[in-house]
Amino acid sequence: MSKLATLSTILLLGSVLVLSLPTSLSRRESPCGAVHILVARGVNQPPGEGNLAPLVTQIKTRLAADTTVTSEAIRYTATMVPYPASAAEGTEAVKSQLTDAASRCPTSKIVLLGFSEGAHIIGDAFGGGGGGHFLGPKTPPMNASIIREHVKAVVLFADPRHNVAEPFNRGTATKGGLFPRDAEQVAALSEFKDLIVGYCDRNDIICASGKSTLVHLTAVVRHLDDATDFVAGKV
């Protein structure tokens, strides 16, 4: 099965899962809270926070007694075809919106959440993108000083670019994803290992070269509480 065909297997189930979630959080261009969350949905999910919305809600609930929390969705097409172009567009959107948020919200603690392609584009913004015959030419990471000065936590779920050598891995996967980062990209992304947690579990069809679409689609729900604890402990 080709990589594109493998990715296609998640489309229908992913759409059904996301359409069942609340949409009230799908468009948030804030005034900025003390904590500001950038949310990158997965491939083929409708614009907004996608299946990350429950995590955004849980983080807001956890922090509500002590601080204000706002959120906004990364604005990109998140399409299957052509996936490389969608990922490249999304990576630039992460760079742009993070740079804008840092300027617009200079005192806010910024958190990034990404699922599937959303995790892909956040990782590529931080560690460099592209590479290999499928994703095209390599692209440089964004300005590291913006990340260091403003970002407090990053959560990546079921990343197609997962590499088992990444030091922030917290899932059960023992194999890499469909488009694993090369050593240079892993090293660049690992510069921010103190800010990042990554969840990829064994047999995930996208991030662990497995056979289970269900493992992939349920990654956020499975690690919801641990991810919330991670973010709360960082901000």
Which residues are tagged catalytic?
Answer: 116, 204, 216
Judge contact between 198 and 3, C-beta under 8 A. Answer: no
* Burial zone of 215 (CB within 10 Å; 0-12 exposed, 13-18 middle, 19+ buried): buried
Two tokens, residue 164: 């088992």
Two tokens, residue 39: 């949310």
Stretch (H or E) spanning 109:
strand 109-115
